[in-house]
Chain A
Amino acid sequence: MFAPNFYKQLQHLKIHTRRVFLGSRQGGHISLRKGHGLEFADYKQYSMGDDFRNIDWGAFARTDRIYVKQFREEQDLNIQFLLDGSGSMGEENKFEFCSKLALALGYVGLTDGDTVSFSILGKKNSPKYSSPKLLGKAEKFLSEITPSGVINFPFEIASAVQRLRTPGKCFVISDFLCDFDKIIEGIKFLIGRNFEVVMFQVLTPNEFNLRLSSDTTKISDAETGEIIDVAFDEKSKREYVKLLAEHIEQIEKFAKKSGVIHVLMSTEENIEEVVLRRLPGLGLLK
């Protein structure tokens, strides 16, 4: 799917999390679990069974008490990609762009020893992938998806996350062109489940600037099939851009308030550019 050189560059990246999560196996992320590791976490009084090697003999000399050093264990990160599988994502290769983005980030996670899984909202969930060698399977899984239909955004998010026992990093990739309240409901559910949420809002250039020809007299909703009469003039086009900006701003405000990262991108953007430059710039990748 990508150029070999791009894969090599991805191998040098790491998905950054602001919070520490529990992992299920050894990995590259500092875990909440104390145990073997490099990063000092705390002291505790020696108790039966503790490893002698961790006794801090200096502290014993000063305090005449035996303390044992505790370290943070490095574990894998549970990375979840939630891709919008509704009909709206089928417009103008939007889903293809989102798939590529998810796969690139998934590859970054997999090379870092993280556990990656994909959920297509309204469609199906992939198994958990834990090796970069499984990227091909992930790619096949995503390529089989044809976005269609209407989804209940919060419900589908809840269904997708329900199966996950441990929280982690969650990338929600969608156009978010649905009712704002439903977006909030879905994202809040993820936050409530202790996920660190990143929202990728992907729109097409036509959606950004209303590049529909002025002789368009009817438009139909890709999801519901609803048809409405329209007549575009310059004024209504400006009005559209303004309303879309307001919608995006609402999402951004909510994201900021909720500690969620919201990234707006266009399908026109180059995936490599996004992953290698833009996302590291935002602190999502290191």
Chain B
Amino acid sequence: MSFSNLIYLSLLLALPILALAYRHQVPKNLKRVSSVLIYKLLPLKTVVKQKIKLPPRFWLEIFLLSLLVFALLGPKVTNLQKKTIVLLDNSLSMSAVNESSKTRLQLAKDEIIKIAPPGNFKLCKTSPEFECIIDNASQSVMRSKFAEIDFERAPDNLSSALSELSKQHGVEKIIVATDKKASNTSATKSKFQVLYVGEVQKNFYIKDILINNQYLDILVSYSSSPNDKNISTKVKLSRLPLTDELKNEFAKTTANMENKNWQEVEAKNIQINGNTENVARFGVKMDNAFIYRAEISAENLGKPVDAIASDNIAYFTLASLNTNEILVVSSKTSNNYLGLDGLTQFNFKIITPEEFKNISADNLTKKLMLIFHQSAPEFATRVPTLLILPPINNPFFPLKIMNKGEALVINSPKITSFDNLHSINLYLNFNLLKPKNSFVFEKPLWAQDIIKVEDGTLLVAGESNGVRYAGVGFELLPFGGARSSFSSVLFLNLLNWLGGTQAIQNATIGDATESNTFEVQNFYIPDNKDEYPMLDNLSDEQASTIWQYLIWVVLLILFFDWFWMLIKK
């Protein structure tokens, strides 16, 4: 048994104090007698030998206090009914067919049945959003539910799913079936069994579609070996008038889109090297009245060179595409002040916090990311968000507070550690970091300390439900470029890191694992079952809520005890 709040152990100091108080307070039982004449004649030893006799109330209070301390310690009890959690990656990449003509998803389902231990199961999937379908079900139920899980034309939320699952208790183990590198990013101790299905396969696909005022960019990617030869790719853009009927159908499914009478708008040929990507730029002004279809095709590309055929076609409308706009919310709306006009490769839009309140949630999701400068949204956004010097009670990273309820301000914080593997810290020389009047954060469970100082976390970042968030406790703006090298590099790193996840999220196709990571991914090959990479173990103990009730019961009894004493007096 372990305890959550060992600090309350210090309350045990009250026990000897209580004993001393009682010893001191218990009135000497004084009796008046006619004369002490005879008593004085009693042998001395019987007079001296006094037993410390404490009243039953004292023992009751000692017992209650011990019980209170025990309950406050938050004992964790082992959950005897352990279950196995199965996390199935059903992103589009799992539709890749291998040489045995089975999709990765099917392979995963087959292998899970083979290796699943007896007992109860919780079945979860990663796409289109992390979701658990069944809980505490038998293996046969899980098997029947497998049939309902098919791959989705959506990216996986593997890391956020792992982060969520790592917070579960009473878990025998978590079996993760995926075709990607699964890593436990959070600092929990979950017992993961990662089942890698399928080999890395070459895939040719539309990675992203981006628009700006003049152009439509179709980003084509070829995941393969760098040594693969160039391929010539034809990118064809077609469109159809967007009727209400079509609009509704598009909102539901794209299954029958191929049968429509598409009118070709333009076609382009581009060259792509192995393991690179290229953009096909169309000088087309997007129109809300049309639905568009992009198709890529290359000669001599078939299995296993193009593992997934369905990601070679994309359907989109102007409304369904995201802009690459970065919304900056700051009371200082002057671009000169914030220095963001120098960053021409980004499309910044600066608004005030008041203006931000008027933006609808739908419009927000189309933004590449949000930057809050000395402000914060009232509610958590579902868009990558950077908070610079946020207020105390922001919805992501609450600040460390002083006794008076104000944020703890540190004049010149000393860096104690930083995560040198994190991409936010790339190219940074920490000797140059001399922030003044900084705030430190209370790190939430889902986030990581990127830069730590003596009093807490100066820079915190994390991914929750597939969206990245970062909080900076010192001033990063105005963007000074070379004049303020540390803050400039850090700012760009933050934009890069926050935008990275967005790029993946925007993709409408599966992303097969790149071949250059083939060696380190330790793929599980179904015929060779000796490789089950294990991550850390999660404590299978769980704090029970019963102790909270116990605390109230004990406090109630102590109150009655005190009340009774008062009446008695």
Chain B residues within 8 Å of A117, by CB: none
- Decide if B38 touches A247 in the complex (CB within 8 Å): yes
Chain B residues within 8 Å of A119, by CB: none
Binding site for B on A (CB under 8 A): 87-89, 91, 94, 175, 177-179, 204, 206-207, 212-213, 215-224, 226-233, 235-236, 239-240, 243-244, 247
Chain B residues within 8 Å of A215, by CB: 29, 53
Chain A residues within 8 Å of B40, by CB: 228
Chain A residues within 8 Å of B49, by CB: 231, 233
Known: A231-B47, A231-B50. A177 touches B41 (CB 8 A): no
Distance between Cα atoms of A87 and B37 in the complex (Å): 14
B24-41 contacts to A (CB < 8 Å): 28-41
The 6 closest A-B pairs by CB, nearest first: A88-B34, A236-B46, A177-B35, A231-B50, A221-B36, A218-B30
- Decide if B30 touches A229 in the complex (CB within 8 Å): no
Contact among A206, A216, A243 for B42, CB-based, below 8 A: A243
Chain B residues within 8 Å of A243, by CB: 38, 41-42
Q: Is B255 positioned at the interface, with any CB of A under 8 Å from its CB?
A: no
- Decide if A219 touches B37 in the complex (CB within 8 Å): no
- Decide if A228 touches B36 in the complex (CB within 8 Å): yes
- Decide if B47 touches A94 in the complex (CB within 8 Å): no
Known: A177-B38, A178-B37. A218 touches B31 (CB 8 A): yes
Binding site for A on B (CB under 8 A): 28-43, 46-51, 53
Q: List 23 A-B contacts (CB under 8 A).
A: A178-B35, A204-B34, A212-B31, A213-B29, A213-B31, A215-B29, A216-B30, A216-B31, A217-B29, A219-B31, A219-B39, A220-B30, A221-B36, A222-B33, A223-B34, A224-B36, A228-B40, A231-B46, A232-B46, A236-B47, A240-B42, A243-B38, A247-B38
Contact among A91, A175, A228, A230 for B32, CB-based, below 8 A: A91
- Decide if A177 touches B34 in the complex (CB within 8 Å): yes
Judged by DSSP, the binding face of B is mixed
Chain B residues within 8 Å of A177, by CB: 34-35, 37-38
Distance between Cα atoms of A228 and B43 in the complex (Å): 13
- Decide if A91 touches B34 in the complex (CB within 8 Å): yes
Report the minimum CB–CB distance from B32 to chain A (whole Å): 5
Known: A215-B53, A216-B29, A219-B30. A231 touches B35 (CB 8 A): no
Report the minimum CB–CB distance from B272 to chain A (whole Å): 96
- Decide if B35 touches A223 in the complex (CB within 8 Å): yes
Distance between Cα atoms of A212 and B35 in the complex (Å): 14
- Decide if A244 touches B32 in the complex (CB within 8 Å): no
- Decide if B46 touches A175 in the complex (CB within 8 Å): no
Report the minimum CB–CB distance from B55 to chain A (whole Å): 9
Most buried by A among B28, B34, B53: B34
Report the minimum CB–CB distance from A73 to chain B (whole Å): 44
Chain B residues within 8 Å of A212, by CB: 31, 33
Distance between Cα atoms of A3 and B318 in the complex (Å): 119
Residue of A nearest to B51 (CB): A231
Report the minimum CB–CB distance from A83 to chain B (whole Å): 15
Known: A177-B38, A207-B33. A217 touches B46 (CB 8 A): no
- Decide if A220 touches B35 in the complex (CB within 8 Å): no
- Decide if A91 touches B33 in the complex (CB within 8 Å): yes
Distance between Cα atoms of A217 and B35 in the complex (Å): 16
Known: A220-B33, A222-B33, A233-B46. A228 touches B28 (CB 8 A): no
Known: A217-B50, A231-B48. A236 touches B42 (CB 8 A): yes
- Decide if A219 touches B33 in the complex (CB within 8 Å): yes
Most buried by B among A88, A89, A179: A88
Report the minimum CB–CB distance from A238 to chain B (whole Å): 10
Most buried by A among B37, B48, B51: B37
Residue of B nearest to A177 (CB): B35
Report the minimum CB–CB distance from B269 to chain A (whole Å): 105
